[in-house]
Chains A and B, each alone.
Chain A
């Protein structure tokens, strides 16, 4: 198990370096004339060149990347070109918001999709069809559209929750709950729709396995067979899907934070990246990819614990 963890961690680190390198090179394409963007179209060419030199953009791309990487390893992503804000500090200030959103959505999704998936996979029949129809609908409607409808109904029409804004947990737990509930619900619907289908088919698949029949032939109570053997064997594929959904959730979070006016990483990405602020883009990208790699690692570990066969590979 230790060697397995070490290998996965190394692969994850390699992935982070490769992605950051490719992004860095692509961002340094000549189309992205940062000095010009910063100083405006009327600025004289020599000033633009001086600005680019001041930012270190006249150096070879590889040198620039090495410089960025050596700082990034110390969690120093430099300063924004447009606002001179320290990128690491800006990300650190906004990370808790996105993180609480992600944790909330993942918890809700895991609980609901396991519940619905196992229920429909075991009961089949009418329950199964109802869950499947809900799943298709949740999948069919774009997430941001569902979010808009939720805002219109629960915030604008009924006024149960604030439509926009964020109250930190440290300031008022009740206020925090009222500001994150709708975003979490909005993001969870699509995720539950997808994940519950996967749990369902994993459960159905395990139920049809020979060893389940053999366990029944030994007189074990149906409860034990279901909650111990079926659930354990079905959770590995289900966890893989939940892990993959995390990447999609990050994209959904960008939209949801924008709609609800949450000052998280998503709204930061929209505000800064559209201007070509390379230190901010690189910082955000690195943090999100580290998040994705960490989640995948956790999923791998969980699957390794659940399924002894997977530890070998």
Chain B
């Protein structure tokens, strides 16, 4: 990922009130909240809603239909169904709440401590958690009932213990990432006691995921509780619970399916409401009302129209170059408020054997321009207008198949971050041979021989050994050489390099630049070099374009632009790098005479 694409940090973390408001705007959230409130209220107000008692049996009313005072009828023992449902809610919900409380009390503090302090406590806690997670919960619950007797409350405590790892792992994972954030380091260095750091900085981060997890675990606990009661291992039968009612209904399912209807609805609605509430909470707390615009990676703020460029240099781009020619290209992404253009009206040319620099700050649209030319814009990215020709062929509107056949063979890409651009699951040799086989139809053996040659060409000393390595086993500099080798594997005539040295050590940077220049000269390739480093431009490029807020604000031969920048922005860039070795480079660029008129 290049610097242009790092999403800006979410500045306004949703506060509690906005989150609540967002939840209330979500119909799912409102509905599930109402259902849960109604169920809890009904359980609490059971004596007010019915004057029947759940245990009173009227044998002559067994399986009796609804009648006045008994709106839901009678069960197999002639007990009032409504009263059993209402009083049963107390036991079922209470059991689930107990399990939840135990899981929260055990899981969250241990997760915080294990994540924050790590080391031995973390190791022990992790070991215990793995042990708990390997335990089949149902068998343990059955065994505990054997020893401790049929009390639903004890079983729920054990269920809570078994559910604690889900909180532990959640909290620990988040704390581990937060702990190493700079602001937490700063708080530690400034001498804040650990409990202040945890409560001030760490708890904020875990709050939302915990709330969501609570709703989820409550739903699971309710289901398990009802399940235990259903197979008759929970209470000893006296206590009305939804699970026990389901069990009774299932026994008489042929005779009175009505018996299963009410407890089934109660269990289903309540646990569905809990899980749907969790989903709604996630949307509200994690600010994901609409996932689409968030996936779009860009950073350019909506920009005012760029000031008119100085006459002459910016003016109409020159005649179209034979190798790569871009005219009036615009790239846009869907945003909250309609399409947002990140590249506007960009024109550029690269001739064979020429190196053209594309400079600009993060978010200026230079990487997006490169992706558009390669046809690898991220999801949502769209080329709005313009024309891109490669070797005279218009590629905008070209079929996917035709367009694909140009990659590697005509135009190739060298990415910025070497380590993240190699597939971690395949060997270097495989990744080098794959495009050769796919694009040229070479045999496996021939592709392999070619891959070894390529590695030698990019100055890798022991190519046979590197071929067998996986990406995590090689250094960043070597990975970048491998990526360059992959890019030139099918002899492209145009190379698009996106900040090829930014992620590397300074010593390695010079080597990679030298390698790129040597390959470019040997093969007579045209290169579009995206960079924010004017030193690299001065060192390597023939001509340069400066981009800002999606537009090209200045263009020309390197010597002209760097020595006599006309645009304020370019001047600022140049002034920021005062120690440029300009003179020597100027002569070189002028002598080579490759700049287009």
Contacts and interface: CB of A to CB of B under 8 A. Distances in A.
Main secondary structure of the interface of A (DSSP, over half): helix
Nearest to A233: B425
A124 B295 CA distance: 12
A25 B253 CA distance: 42
Interface stretch (B81-89, B181-189, B265-273, B563-571): B265-273
Nearest to A22: B131
A19 B231 contact: no
B231 A217 contact: no
Contact of B423 (A142, A152, A229, A252): A229
Contact of A140 (B219, B227, B295, B406): B219
B421 A210 contact: yes
Contacts of B268: 141-142, 145
Contacts of B232: 270
Contacts of A274: 142, 145-146, 150, 233
B153 interface: no
A250 B136 contact: yes
A251 interface: yes
B147 interface: yes
Nearest to A132: B279
Contacts of A139: 275
Nearest to A26: B147
A276 interface: yes
Contact of A232 (B227, B422, B425): B425
Contacts of A26: 144, 147
Interface residues of A, number: 71
Q: Is the interface of B mostly helix, strand, loop or mixed?
A: helix
B246 interface: yes
Nearest to A236: B425
Nearest to B423: A211
| Most chain B CB within a 10 A radius of its CB, from A145, A148, A292 | A145
Contacts of A308: 424-425, 470, 472
Interface in B369-427: 371, 374, 376, 378-379, 400, 404-409, 412-413, 415, 417, 420-426
Contacts of B470: 308-309
B577 interface: no
A160 B270 CA distance: 30
Contact of B279 (A29, A136, A248): A136
A269 B486 CA distance: 59
B233 A143 contact: no
B438 A214 contact: no
B245 to A, nearest CB: 12
Interface residues of B, number: 78
B434 interface: yes
Interface in B285-325: 295
Interface in A44-100: none
Contact of B276 (A140, A210, A269, A306): A140
A32 interface: yes
A27 B143 CA distance: 8
Given A32-B146, A254-B142, A270-B142, A156 B253 contact: yes
B425 A307 contact: yes
B143 A23 contact: yes
A210 B417 contact: yes
B376 A247 contact: no
B1 interface: yes
Given A19-B131, A139-B275, A288 B417 contact: no
B271 A273 contact: no
A40 interface: no
B275 A140 contact: yes
B131 A273 contact: no
B260 interface: yes
Nearest to A285: B139
B423 A215 contact: yes
Contacts of B425: 229, 232-233, 306-308
B148 interface: yes
Given A140-B275, A144-B227, A285-B143, A233 B264 contact: no
Nearest to A125: B292
Interface in B402-460: 404-409, 412-413, 415, 417, 420-426, 434-435, 438-439
A285 B136 CA distance: 8
B139 A254 contact: yes
B424 to A, nearest CB: 6
Contact of A269 (B139, B379, B434): B139
A284 B412 CA distance: 60
A110 to B, nearest CB: 19
Interface in A249-279: 250-252, 254-255, 258-259, 266, 269-270, 273-277
Interface of B: 1, 130-131, 133-140, 142-150, 219, 222-224, 226-227, 230-233, 246, 250, 253-254, 257, 260, 264, 267-268, 271-272, 274-276, 279, 295, 371, 374, 376, 378-379, 400, 404-409, 412-413, 415, 417, 420-426, 434-435, 438-439, 470, 472, 483, 486, 490
Given A31-B148, A208-B378, 19 more contacts: A139-B275, A141-B268, A142-B224, A142-B271, A144-B227, A145-B226, A149-B264, A156-B254, A214-B422, A216-B376, A218-B438, A229-B425, A248-B137, A251-B138, A273-B145, A274-B145, A274-B233, A285-B143, A308-B472
